[in-house]
Amino acid sequence: MAEAALKLDAEPKTTLMDKVKEILPEQGHLNLCLTCGACSAGCPASGLEGMDPRKFLRMAALGLDEEITKTPWVWMCSMCRRCVHACPMSIDIPQLVHYARQAWPREERPKGILGSCDHALNTEGNSAMGANSEDFRFVVEDVLEEVRAEQKGFEDLQAPIDKKGAMFFLNQNSREPVTEPDEMVPLWKILHIVGADWTYGTKGWGAENYCMFLADDEAWEKIVRNKVEAVEELGCKIWLNTE
């Protein structure tokens, strides 16, 4: 069955394209598309919801803002930027996707991403799982005690929290202390073996930032600033984010 033809306005309104061009260096090269399909060839989201990066970009160029801001495909893009690296013209399609996401009312965006963003906003540690800092400290200290007692050679393993003046401030994926606490240990061991001076913080310890994927720029910035403040308050020199 043949697909229905798209109806174009005589003077297409390229609101989305224009907005993205304003903020990107060299306008994101958005007018340089060769329609070669390199972007779509390696995209894990190609074909989902009848969309792919090349089609998305061409629709944006034709001014079909309503169509591209309503397709669920924008939430299937992982923002991996593989399309940008594959593109011979370095066109920044993910930035278009980001602004297409912002066209969705916040309450209609995917509930999983929305909930994780709001959890991070509502916890001092910015945990997308909603884990509070007191529980995080308890889990870290409990797991550390077990490793010291049971694993030969790691009797003096350290997993400090709120250590003033440490060289490295380490973020932690908040899913691990909540559901897979033992997964934190290998990194502790690496840091121990190399003699790294590091610490977690009760403030801003969560590594992930789902507000970025939600395309909520204000919330995204708020979480980043909270983590930066945590690093500065402890006087750490380097911020290590595991995500």
Residues 75 and 143 in one domain: no
Residue 5 lies in a domain: no
Residue 152 lies in a domain: yes
Question: Phi and psi of 202, rounded to 5°?
Answer: -70, -25
What six digits make up the tokens of 176? 């691990």
**Across the strands, what pairs with 206?**
172
The pLDDT mean for the chain works out to: 90
Q: Work out the pLDDT band at 8, boundaries 50, 70, 90.
A: very low
User: Which of 104, 121, 142 is the endpoint of a domain?
Assistant: 104
Residue 81 has pLDDT above 60, yes or no: yes
Residues 47 and 128 in one domain: no
Say if pTM beats, i.e. exceeds, 0.85.
Answer: no
Residues 146 and 205 in one domain: yes
User: Which of 54, 75, 104 is the endpoint of a domain?
Assistant: 104
Range of the domain at 167: 111-240
* Candidate from 20-34, 47-61, 166-180, 218-232 with smallest mean pLDDT: 20-34
Residues 61 and 134 in one domain: no
Residues 193 and 173 in one domain: yes
Residues 85 and 137 in one domain: no
Question: Phi and psi of 237, rounded to 5°?
Answer: -90, -35
Residue 152 CA: distances (Å) to CA of 18, 190, 207: 61, 15, 30
Total number of domains constituting the chain:
2
